[in-house]
A and B are shown apart, each in its own frame.
Chain A
Amino acid sequence: MTTSHEHAVLDVCARIGRILLESGAETPRIEETVEIIGRTAGVAISCYVTLTAVFVSLTNQPETQLTKTKLGAFNLQKVDDINQLSREFSAGQVSFDDIVTRVAAIDQHVIDFNWPTKILGAGLVSVAPMLVFIADWSDLGLAFFIGIAGYLTAQLVGRKATATPYAKEVAGGFVIALLAWGLVASGVGHHAENMIVSAVMPLVPGVALTNSMREIMAGHMISGTVRALDALLIAAAIGGGVVLATTLLHLCGMI
């Protein structure tokens, strides 16, 4: 028979697992953190994470909690907050009741950079070091602004069209290609291809791909494979958006 304390631990652990997963933490770390919190609370639990679900189970009893999740964007501040919390809990600085309220607080609200800073960040990412000394400096400068436009479009569409999968990546790629080819047609830019590759940098799933490979190597085959597949689809969506814009411009005789 499970006690109410065990129930509460199971509940909060499932919540922590979901927050960590949706904020972009890697699966081995999530399982470790959740199990440590359970052990510190005096309940032996096992946690298993695939990218679409978190399973938290009492080790020697039949009770299991299953939470379905969606793949989210990176929000590493949340991961850090939970980590901090778990560290304080293990050190005995906070009680279990505090954990429950603080996890709820982290879930609802977290400090974030303001929009101008984020826009600047997206612009900085859009000047890819890979293209320095390959592309013209003027093209890279333009990519700074095109990348911002693409990032903002993706964020906006991602907020509006939550039901359509990969809509935000398609929209981002579309806007980027439209702007790049437009600038070339108006004589400001030189090489649209270089500008596009540089400007899609904030959108492409390169980090997700590398993390998926690290997960696979760490033995987390399922979540690694799922992450790689998702990354592949995101890249395909961006490519699709770019090709769509290019084809449209071709049809209109712009390029």
Chain B
Amino acid sequence: MTYLIQFIISFASTVGFGIITNIPRRALPTAGLTGGTAWTCYIFVQHLHANVFLANMTAAIIIGLLGNWFAIRKRVPVNMIYIPSLVSLVPGGTIYLAMKNFSLGHYANAQAGVITTVTIAVALAVGFVLAEVIVRQIKQHLRSRQQDSLAR
């Protein structure tokens, strides 16, 4: 039940950000699905093992895999799905709080916030790189199989 609510809220969030950033209409539902699934996985991993890096990396891998698949099916650039899907995961709130703490003079909190932000951003970026590696392998595999069947 908890996961269902999380999924619905993050789905709505992703679609909302897709609207603000003006992504192509045909990518809107699939982006929502990707964002919702990734966020639910993030929550799941955090419940299993409270580690920010691991949870964000898993979510980014999910976005990378689903995003590439949907991008091929809907014929849109993969970034159209990446950008809205990231909105719930991304350290926007954290960096805002960190900068607010800086302007209030709470330097220790501010530094911790900046480091958390960088950690999350790196985790997401690493997740994307891993996903791209997996996708490239699958594509190569499919291509070589296609060539085999053509050769025959």
Q: State A18–B2 Cα separation when bound (angstroms).
A: 44
Q: Is the CB of A76 within 8 A of B21?
A: yes
List chain B residues, Cβ under 8 A from A200: 92-93, 96
A100 to chain B, nearest CB (A): 22
Task: Give chain A interface residues in 191-229, CB to chain B under 8 Å.
Answer: 197, 200-202, 204-207, 209-214, 216-217
Q: Is the CB of B97 within 8 A of A129?
A: no
Q: Is the CB of A76 within 8 A of B22?
A: yes
Task: Give chain B interface residues in 67-92, CB to chain A under 8 Å.
Answer: 76-77, 79-80, 83, 86-88, 90-92
Q: Which one, A77, A110, A124, A133, contacts B13 given CB within 8 A?
A: A124
A243: CB under 8 A from chain B?
Answer: yes
Q: Is the CB of B16 within 8 A of A129?
A: no
Chain A residues within 8 Å of chain B by Cβ, number: 57
Q: Quick one: CB contact mask for B49-74 with A, threshold 8 Å, 1 for yes?
A: 00000000000000000000000000
Q: Is the CB of A207 within 8 A of B96?
A: no
Q: Which one, B15, B102, B122, B129, contacts A236 given CB within 8 A?
A: B102
Q: Is the CB of B20 within 8 A of A202?
A: yes
Segment with Cβ contacts to B, from A59-67, A111-119, A157-165 = A111-119
Residues of chain B whose beta carbon lies under 8 Å from any beta carbon of chain A: 2, 5-6, 9-10, 12-13, 15-24, 27, 39, 76-77, 79-80, 83, 86-88, 90-93, 95-104, 117, 121-122, 124-126, 128-129
Q: Report if A207-B86 is in contact (Cβ < 8 Å); known contacts: A79-B80, A235-B95.
A: yes
Most chain A CB atoms below 10 A, which of B2, B77, B80: B77
Q: Quick one: CB contact mask for A70-103 with B, threshold 8 Å, 1 for yes?
A: 0001111111100100000000000000000000
A182 to chain B, nearest CB (A): 18
List chain B residues, Cβ under 8 A from A110: 22
Q: State A15–B49 Cα separation when bound (angstroms).
A: 48
Q: Is the CB of A210 within 8 A of B80?
A: no
A114 to chain B, nearest CB (A): 10
Q: Which one, A25, A124, A201, contacts B93 given CB within 8 A?
A: A201
A156 to chain B, nearest CB (A): 15
Q: Report if A125-B16 is in contact (Cβ < 8 Å); known contacts: A76-B23, A206-B92.
A: yes
Q: Which one, B13, B79, B87, B117, contacts A76 given CB within 8 A?
A: B79
Q: Is the CB of B121 within 8 A of A213?
A: yes
User: Nearest 9 pairs between A and B by C-beta?
Assistant: A206-B92, A124-B16, A121-B19, A206-B90, A204-B92, A239-B100, A74-B21, A239-B99, A121-B16
Task: Give chain A interface residues in 116-145, CB to chain B under 8 Å.
Answer: 117-118, 120-130, 132-133
Q: Report if A113-B92 is in contact (Cβ < 8 Å); known contacts: A128-B13, A133-B2, A206-B86.
A: no
Q: Which one, A29, A75, A123, A205, contacts B92 given CB within 8 A?
A: A205
A37: CB under 8 A from chain B?
Answer: no
Residues of chain A whose beta carbon lies under 8 Å from any beta carbon of chain B: 24-26, 29, 73-80, 83, 110, 112-113, 117-118, 120-130, 132-133, 151, 197, 200-202, 204-207, 209-214, 216-217, 231-232, 235-236, 238-240, 242-243
List chain A residues, Cβ under 8 A from B19: 113, 117-118, 120-121, 124
Q: Which one, B27, B39, B104, B121, contacts A129 given CB within 8 A?
A: B39
List chain B residues, Cβ under 8 A from A25: 79
A24 to chain B, nearest CB (A): 7
8 contacts across the A-B interface (CB closer than 8 A) = A73-B21, A80-B27, A122-B16, A206-B91, A210-B125, A232-B95, A232-B99, A242-B100
B43 to chain A, nearest CB (A): 8
